[in-house]
Chain A
Amino acid sequence: MNLTINVVDEQPSKSIVYLAGEIDAYTAPDLKEALIPLMRQEDQVVAVDLAEVNYMDSTGLGTFVSALKSSKEYNSKLTLVNIQDRVLRLFQITGLDEIMDIRASIRGGSE
């Protein structure tokens, strides 16, 4: 399966990353390559839209954890939005939902 990654710069300091497909050991490196540079921009607000992601494995979680760690280092902000139940469950089990900004629905600001 594939993962398509589409980065939209809403404002100079706000990006939305639209993902569609599956996040697993094969696609996670691409996601990391797209996400980490964004997180390394000071004060950048990054929303990752997971509406079209129906599967994610623990490798995907690892990618979001490293994104979270770099957001703390660079004072940027990571939010996961429109997350599907199956994927959300993974964040809940691992306790990551308590340290990450995750929103089940409602898209912030984009029209």
Chain B
Amino acid sequence: MSSLLKLDTEGYKALMKRYIETRDEQSLYEIEQASKLFIKNSILPDEIVNMHIQSLKDLYPNLSEDIQYSMNFLLEAMIAYGIAHQEYQQLREKQSELKSEISVAASMQETLLETKKPTIDGLDIGVISVPAHQMNGDYHHFVKGRDGSLGIAIADVIGKGIPAALCMSMIKYAMDSYPEDAMTPKAILANMNRVVERNVDPSMFITMFYAQYLPSDHTLRYASAGHEPGFYYNSSQDTFEELTTKGLVLGVTPDTTYPQYELKIESNDMVILLTDGVTECRDGERFIERQEVLDVIKRYAHLPVQKIVDQTFKYFERLQDFELRDDFTLLILRREV
């Protein structure tokens, strides 16, 4: 280390000498670049002060002792900065380690929670789900029943990040253990409520919207466990209606029951399901209104449904300066014929 320091001291001294003689900007630029190199090579502030002291002594052998003492004083003052800098470096390394671990976990989760968008004649389906951080606390899945029906679950764990994501994996396994296509939405929610109530921390809960679409008679059956209300787009009247529901979030009381609702879907009608990451977007300090989401969807309504959800996401992503505050899931169904 001392030989490296020696070498650097010579360079530092030459540069300082040149600057003192010419006071040119070039020298200042060079020391700026050197300063970056110091940081890169973990040269600590006290070592730089030491180089300065050595250079001063060499250039001005008759330098007053008082000045020399004052420089030693400065060196002492720099010691703690040096330690702090080293600590910062180490924490940065640790952080990048953690980051890569989380990204492995995130890709595992992605595989685990993967759901295939089914193809159903006469129904156009679009869905987008983007986590605010690396791991997603939103969940959705599709199940195609033997009778041709389509089951759709969309859920949101309170909180975000890793705890929410872990909780979601549990939900997925619980869902997988039911014969979903043989159950009604209200029964599925009642079952899920018991699972969550038994297995999840009291301050944690999950909202879920469960819908079944029956293509044979173009009906949507649905129930909600405290989930952000979705919308129904009535094509013939060109209006949006909120899918108003009652039903407590999952996991608060053990014996909650859920009312079930039914809706007739006509040609070109849309059903819009979402999580609060969509409706609670923020534009600076301002919260967007739910109406704003509908306006944006309407703007893209002429496109295929997957394009609508993609474009809507892009719109709100941009509005929030590409920094999501919450996980964002938007799912749209449109009856084609």
Contact = CB atoms under 8 A, between A and B. Distances in A.
Touch A–B, Cβ below 8 Å: yes
B318 to A, nearest CB: 22
Q: How large is the interface on B (under 10, 10 to 19, 20 to 34, 35 or more residues)?
A: 20 to 34
Contacts of B246: 95, 98
Q: Which 10 A-B pairs have the closest CB atoms?
A: A94-B226, A95-B248, A58-B158, A66-B203, A62-B203, A94-B249, A95-B226, A66-B202, A62-B158, A69-B202
A68 B252 CA distance: 10
Contacts of A61: 158, 205, 249
A40 interface: no
Given A66-B202, A94-B248, A99 B159 contact: no
A93 B225 CA distance: 9
Interface of B: prevailing SS: loop
Contact of B203 (A57, A63, A86): A63
Interface string B222-254: 000111110000000000000000111100110
Contacts of A62: 158-159, 203-205
Interface of A: 25, 32, 55, 57-59, 61-63, 65-66, 68-69, 86, 93-96, 98-99
Given A57-B276, A58-B156, A65-B252, 10 more contacts: A25-B160, A55-B287, A57-B326, A58-B276, A62-B158, A68-B252, A69-B202, A93-B226, A95-B249, A99-B248
B310 interface: no
Interface of A: prevailing SS: helix
B158 A99 contact: no
Contacts of A99: 248, 252-253
A34 B26 CA distance: 59
Contacts of A58: 156, 158-159, 207, 276
Contact of B159 (A25, A68, A96): A25
B280 interface: yes
Nearest to B246: A95
Nearest to A54: B287
A3 to B, nearest CB: 16
Nearest to B256: A95
Contacts of B249: 61, 94-96
* Most B C-beta atoms less than 10 A away, residue of A32, A93, A98, A99: A93
Contacts of B202: 65-66, 69
Contacts of A59: 158-159
Contact of A65 (B205, B207, B276): B205
Contacts of A66: 202-203
Interface string B210-228: 0000000000000001111
A59 B253 CA distance: 18
